[in-house]
Amino acid sequence: MSEVSTVASGPVTGAPSGPGTATHCPYCALQCAMTLTPGRAPDGMPALDVTPRDFPTNAGGLCQKGWTSAALLTSPERLTTPLVRDGAGVLREAGWEEALDLVARRMRRAREERGPDAVAVFGSGGLTNEKAYALGKFARVALGTSQIDYNGRFCMSSAAAAGNRAFGLDRGLPFPVTDLDASEAVVLVGANPAETMPPLMGHLDPARLIVVDPRRTATAQAALDGGGLHLQPAPGTDLALALGLLHVALVEGYVDAPERLAYRRERTTGWEEVRRCAARWWPERTERLTGVAAADLRKAAGALAGARRAHILTGRGAEQHSKGVDTVAAWIDLALALGLPGTPGSGYGCLTGQGNGQGGREHGQKADQLPGYRHITDPAARAHLARVWDVPEESLPGPGRSAWELLDALGTPDGPSALLVMGSNPAVSAPRSRRAVERLRALDLLVVADFVRSETAELADVVLPVTMWAEESGTMTSLEGRVLRRRRAQAPPPGVRTDLEVLHGLAVRLGRDGAEFPADHTEVFAELRRASEGGAADYSGVRPEALDAGEAVHWPAPRGRDGSGTPRLFLDRFAHPDGRARFLPVEHREAAELPDAAHPLYATTGRELQHYQSGAQTRRVPELAAAAPGAYVEVHPDTARRAGLADGDRARVVSRRGSVLARTRCVPTLRTDTVFLPFHYTGAGTANALTNPALDPVSRMPEFKLCAVRLEPAP
């Protein structure tokens, strides 16, 4: 199914060298390499200076977020002391022993009164592999709860489900990022790397880009400026667009090239049913639904099919829908029809978003998964983990609720009454966010481990101050499945503990042997390697000394290999037992919510250049906050005028779930039926107050990318 790397015997570009600490950016899954050296802040206080390193993913570059990433380490808003809510409802400072004793006592009481599922855990795609693994083990062994999920459910889950169905394995990019350098056509579906991961643009030739996005994003503009294409469909119609492109490929005979016929015959199953689905989506029908001109469909299909090396990459714009799995499946079908996956120099991939979005979903934070990307209902997987953890197999819980379902159940008669949140801010990032805040407030106990007083921490009964990225060591897994070393560059402030120390302290207080939950990241990684052995995401052959030397190690990396892992998947066979990829027949269906007379516009959400996720970190970096200070709504000038608004006016955006106040930003390139809001802001500008928690039936992904709204002047 894979290729064994030839780069195993020595360091690759980007290995640690010279003064300073070689590590990686704390933000997105590109995991740009950087060096941290001691320096001085403008006020003369000690600080860390950031210098980019030459590395395959970022080639010596960083985005604005990466350059300023060390600023938060010295922020006056940094938490350094545990906080406990007193009888008057005020968060007061407390000692660690008091705080941990309180948490353990109230967790025990909840379990005694209502059973182990009375306590829930909510994790993060930003945690190191070690912390993600330890958190999943803590939930299932120390708490015995099935109620664990994480914010990665809101990010890559639809692509993961589609990839597993089609290929038998989910890895964001099943090839190194550098393979994109030579690609002659790259289709970006619902992805805006020019703002979300700018160094990736160095691997993309604008003349060869085909960008699919309802907005004229910075990425789409780069494509147009360079001679590429921008297909601008109505929100929620990406699936139909993929079927329309496949129809063109059928009619024009692109899929009938001898090498493509041989590829489908020898390496796939299910083509005929998918062919029949696509036959119904002739270009003019596709144009009527999507708004993309038939001529542009034909041009895009010809450019993609005519390339000797080509890639299709999906992002959140395709995935964050109540039909996200089917939408991604349609693009995978197009890729398979053209023989891209598993072909050297070509492929399909998902642009994983969070820093450890890949590793975070492999090692047990997800409600239905055990370490090594094993399914929690698989008897063999349960038996393996029971042996590694030295617990009775029957003591391991089954699958729990998905992220939104878990949040929506908090404080209800059948839901958890206590919640531990580690590294996430669901008060801002969850769909229908004001409902999420209501449920968080309804808990008997909310515990948040964080390094700033995020919006979720402000609701907590106990806040535990934990280390930041430059104050801890561990491993991360990038979007290309490469396991990377995060290195500690400085000691944390006095009074701050690591997440592993927090879990160790709680586990001991809950009656577990402390040795079961080591606080040392090297011990945890050694156990993670054993736990993952034999699983789809096998880390058992990842040698710590190889990571220390900067060697390239991509999972799966089974024990006994040369230690380099698998940089390119599927070259010989796919991961299904028969070695074949699966075409997945899908049909377009409408979004869960469409515009009507009361809410006549589509609203879609996304990220902007300066901020990251819920903004809890980047909004506290002065340079970034000054560049992007507050909520705004992008609107076509004609749409704004019809709503009685002009550029710069304060607007109210109203959905069926709530309203948001934002500054109007008139954008002539936007569709007249669509508005856009960034989701980084809080208070009256919280974009996710609008969004619809309708879930994909397979991935349980909420429909972040589409809801119906109206626009009106604000007081």
Q: Does the pLDDT of residue 548 top 50, yes or no?
A: yes
Mean pLDDT of the chain: 95
Q: Is the pLDDT of residue 6 over 90?
A: no
- Which of 504, 611, 606 lies closest to 137 in space, CA to CA? 504
Q: Indicate if the pLDDT at residue 14 is higher than 70.
A: no
Per-residue model confidence (pLDDT) at position 46: 81
Place of tokens 């953890």: 389
* Residue 3 confidence (pLDDT) above 80: no
Who wins on pLDDT, 487 or 551?
487
Q: What is the pLDDT of residues 336-345, one digit of tens each?
A: 999 999 999 9
**Contact between residue 324 and residue 589 where contact means Cβ atoms under 8 Å apart:** no
| pLDDT at residue 18, as a whole number | 55
What tens digit of pLDDT does each residue of 553-569 get? 999 999 987 667 999 99
pLDDT band at 9 (very low <50, low <70, confident <90, very high): very low
| Residue with token string 């979903």 | 361
Report the alpha-carbon distance of residue 604 to residue 627 in Å, rounded: 22
Model-level pTM greater than 0.85? yes
> What pLDDT, on a 0 to 100 scale, did the predictor assign at position 2?
47
Query: Which CATH number is 83-154+358-471+496-535's, of 2.130.10.10, 3.20.20.140, 3.40.50.880, 3.40.50.740?
Result: 3.40.50.740
> For the structural domain made of 601-713, what CATH number should be given?
2.40.40.20
What would the mean pLDDT of 256-269 be, rounded to a whole number?
98
* HEC-encoded secondary structure of 57-82: CCCCCCCHHHHCHHHHHHCCCECCCC
The residues spanned by each domain of the chain are 83-154+358-471+496-535, 158-350, 601-713
Residue 113 has pLDDT above 60, yes or no: yes
Percent of residues, the chain, with pLDDT higher than 70: 97
| Closest CA relative to residue 463, chosen from 471, 454, 472 | 454
Per-residue pLDDT at 564 = 75
Please give the structure tokens belonging to residue 320.
């964050």
Q: For the segment 390-445, what is each residue's pLDDT rounded down to a tens digit?
A: 999 999 999 999 999 999 999 999 999 999 999 999 999 999 999 999 999 999 99
8 pLDDT more than 90: no
CATH ID of 158-350, from 3.20.20.10, 3.40.470.10, 3.40.228.10, 3.40.50.300: 3.40.228.10
- Judge whether residue 653 has pLDDT over 70: yes
The pLDDT value recorded for residue 1 is: 60
**Is omega for the bond preceding 556 within 30 degrees of 0, making it cis?**
yes
pLDDT of 19? 78
Q: Mean pLDDT lowest for which of 45-59, 397-411, 573-587?
A: 45-59
pLDDT for the residue 550: 87
Indicate whether 17 pLDDT > 70: no
Q: Whole-angstrom Cα distance, residue 560 to residue 380? A: 22
